[in-house]
Structures are given as C-alpha cells and as structure tokens.
A and B are shown apart, each in its own frame.
Chain A
C-alpha cells in the first residue's frame, strides 16, 4: 500500500487528529498526529485489516528546539509497507501517551526517550531510566543540556 493510501485511511478514520504529512519526495513518508490521539491511531493501525502495522521498527525522541518529538517507524510484516508517525509536544509539558500496550517493543524505546529527552510517556508501566544511572540529573540529548560539574563527587567534564 502506498503512503498516500495509508494516509487516506487514517485521515478518514481520525479526521482532525491527522495534522500534516509529507508523502512524496522524502526518503520516508511521514504523517504528523495529534499527540493526545497517538495511542488510538497506533491501535487502529495495528489492528486494521488493511494496515496491519504489527512491527514497531524504531521509536526515537527528537529535540526540535522548543518542541520535543517522538518518531514512530512502523512496518507491516504481512503487507510489507512502512509509514512514519510523528508527534510534537512542547518542551515544558512533554506528555505523550505510551504505546507500550500496543507494541511491547516500545517499552524500552520509550524508557530510552524518557531517559535521554525527559519525555513523559503517560500509561507506561515502568518508566525508569534505562541507560543512565538512576540518580542522574537532566536529560543529555536535549539541545540545551549542560553537563553537570560533578556526579557523586566525580568530576564529569573532561
């Protein structure tokens, strides 16, 4: 199925929750979704007969300076088509519904995005730091991150 057809199915189902999209002339066509509705859209894209996006390839956090984003790379093992979903939330209130209940692989990816970007995934069963120590302060992949002087008495900048 082409990106345009996938977009049309989602648009007819969710209307206003589908914000903008870029489907031609880019390496990976993407659709922007209203953050509050991402869980519904994900559940629909996994369960719908025509879409069947059963495989979450990758989930990445991105800092767009002033906004934080989450990018979902979806793939269907049955139909072998792909789509990219994106959501954007303000940096001071980075709340995104968790899709862990839909794709279990999102569990660790979301923990990673929480760890490194401070994105708060609502409904995640176990939102802890994953790569950094549990008592680390701040979220290093944010563009405005400043390295702390000391961590537990150890000098950090080299």
Chain B
C-alpha cells in the first residue's frame, strides 16, 4: 500500500517524495518525563534524529542556600529535597562526605542503621522506578502491587523518625532517633512479605511478552560510552560493567555483608538495552533484601548520638564523598573555610549525569521508544535541577 502511494505522489508532482524534519516538544508536562523535563525532539517521520533536553524547571539553587546556613547540620533538610523519592540516600551521601571532611568516626550501630535505611530506601526508590516504568510500557498492575509494598517501607520510616517523605534522619556523626523497639520485627516482616511480591511482579512484568517486545534491543548503551559519560548505578551495570561503589569503593560497613553485584547480561536482547537496566533494578532489590536481613540479624547495641559534634567548625579544606544511591553515584563536594557555614557544596547528582547520555542512545529510535528510554534512565527532576 505504502509503495503505491509513493508512486502516485511521484507521478502527480513529477518529483520524488521529500520529507521534512519536524520538531516536537515532549514535556515539560508529559507523563513519561516523570517530572518537569522538556525534551526537544527532532523527528524524521517517527524516527528520532536528535534529542535536546531542557531542564531547570525545578531549579532552586540548593547550593546557594547551603552557603547561607549557620551550621552544617542545617544542610541536611535541603539535601532531602533534592531527590525526593530517595531522601535517606541523599542524607547518607552528605553525611559520608561531611564526616570525611571532619574526620568523624561514628559508632558501629549508626553504620548498621544507616545501611538498613539506605537499603530500604533503595528498594522504595526502585519500586517507584519499576512501577512507573511499567505504566509507561502499558502495564498498570505491577505499579499497584509495588506501591502497596512501598507503603510498608514508608511506615517503617515513619515509625523511626516521624516523616514519610523527607526525613532529616541521618545527622553528621549520628542519627536523629534510635530505632523504635518494634522496628526490627516489623522490618523482618516486610522482608518476608516483599519476597513474595518480588517474585510475583518479576514474572508478571519483566518476563511478560509485551514488555520484552517494548524494551529489548531498545536504547542500547555500550560499555565504553557509559564510562565516558560517567554513568553510574543501574545505568552502568545494565551495560555490563561490574561496578558498585558499595563493593568497589566501600563506605560505612558494606564490606561486612554478603551480597552480589547484579549486571546486565543481554538476556532478552543486547547488553545495555532498556530491559537490562530494568532487570538490574529488579535484582538489586533482592540483594538489598539480603543485606537488610544480615544487618537486622547482627545489629550491635550503642548510643546513636554519641559522636554528634556540638559545634561544627572544620579545618579549611575540601572533601568529596560518594555513595551508591538507587540512581548511581551520588557525591557531595564540600569546600570548608574557617567558619560554621559551608563555603561551597556541590552535589554530583547521578540522574543529572545519567540523563546527559540520552541524546547518544536515542538517535535512530522510534518516538515511542524514547518513552522507554527516558523511563529506563530513572530520572528524578528534583535531583537533576537541584
């Protein structure tokens, strides 16, 4: 049919059919951009020729705010609001960087609680990532299952520090509260229940024929490109790079636990495609459960506020601390002068860096696949824009 119509077009005008490139704006308000992101897409028919992201719609200049604080501890509520679906992780990264700068040793119990919270937060964040990604691909049910279980994690956080979204829980040198007495039992109960959901949704979503057709061999990110663009987290591991900061540049006490780094193997298509990035997130949740189980079983006693300094006035200097967040390498670069106010804080947001590769991996894809690619990068615009 199509060939005949082209022939008609040729004969009626005397010229061959010519197509023009078209610019389509995806966003700032578009369900698949997961926030306020505008993608300027240059299309040739339905094929993506170029993608130019425009962001900054959520820019609050968090870094400038930090330069007006009267204490380093006051920065923590601000970092919460960067990546608002994984606030615990942001706090963790900031306190790791600040403790490196201030040379503070925290008690072992604090490390254990931080690891439990960080891993619960990683699961909560991946539940959103996979759930909403499923919706993008037309699967609604996994989203409901995953949000039901995410609620249980938020309940655990609420029980511990009173907040469900933005916690202000990890402080430099310690924690705002110790664990409540019933926490360990509730957390064990969650781990047991979630293992069932994990298996159910894994079969329901990741090995669903339609889902595989939409995601396999789409948005392939080769290994070298991933490293050159400094991608991190599931983006990097999805491309087959066996790399995890928790194992390869250990912080807190991750080297005490037994768990595996999951990497993309190209099971359904090519290594580094959208399906691989998604399955890395899925499998990472299982490994997080293993870490939580071990940490809950061996958590030591101690005072969680013992090492919190009364007044923070660092020696002038700078430090860069990084941790493995749900989205990848989350780092804070802190420059200190002889003052109680931070001189300069730069956040290295993993979503910001991961998003920069979008142009490279979307060229030649269909417009509908661009939705899959954006979903698989797992961006949180609060963190991209800061």
Contacts and interface: CB of A to CB of B under 8 A. Distances in A.
A55 interface: yes
Interface in B275-305: none
B309 interface: no
A19 interface: no
A54 B56 contact: no
B346 A58 contact: yes
A112 to B, nearest CB: 8
Interface string A43-62: 00000000000111110111
A65 to B, nearest CB: 10
A5 interface: no
Q: Which residue, B329, B331, B333, has most C-beta atoms of chain A within 10 A?
A: B333
Contacts of A71: 318, 333
Interface stretch (A10-18, A31-39, A88-96, A129-137): A129-137
Interface stretch (B157-165, B209-217, B226-234, B370-378): B226-234
Given A26-B317, A140-B64, A131 B59 contact: yes
A85 interface: no
Given A71-B333, A80-B248, A131-B386, A28 B318 contact: yes
B352 A27 contact: no
Contacts of B357: 104
Contact of A56 (B59, B230, B318, B352): B230
A8 B288 CA distance: 41
Contacts of B344: 60, 62-63, 141
Interface string A125-157: 000011111000000110000000000000000
A64 B331 CA distance: 21
Contacts of B228: 54, 103-105
Contacts, number: 85
B56 A131 contact: yes
B346 A60 contact: yes
B329 A57 contact: yes
B243 A77 contact: yes
Contacts of B243: 77
B56 A57 contact: no
B335 interface: yes
Nearest to A62: B344
In which size bucket is the chain B interface?
Answer: 35 or more
Contact of A77 (B64, B227, B353, B356): B227
A73 B63 contact: no
Interface in B353-386: 353, 356-357, 385-386
Contacts of A27: 100-101, 103, 317-320
A58 B59 contact: no
Contacts of B225: 104
A78 B329 CA distance: 17
B55 interface: yes
A87 interface: no
B188 interface: no
By CB atoms of chain B within 10 A, which of A27, A107, A129 has the most? Answer: A27
B109 interface: no
A80 B245 CA distance: 11
Given A57-B322, A58-B348, A62-B344, A73 B333 contact: yes
Nearest to A26: B317
B2 interface: no
Nearest to B224: A54
A116 B63 contact: yes
Contact of A105 (B241, B331, B353): B353
Closest 7 pairs between A and B when the two form their complex, measured CB to CB:
A105-B230, A27-B319, A60-B346, A58-B348, A131-B56, A108-B356, A131-B59
Given A57-B322, A60-B344, A105-B228, 8 more contacts: A26-B318, A28-B319, A58-B346, A73-B320, A80-B249, A108-B352, A131-B386, A140-B61
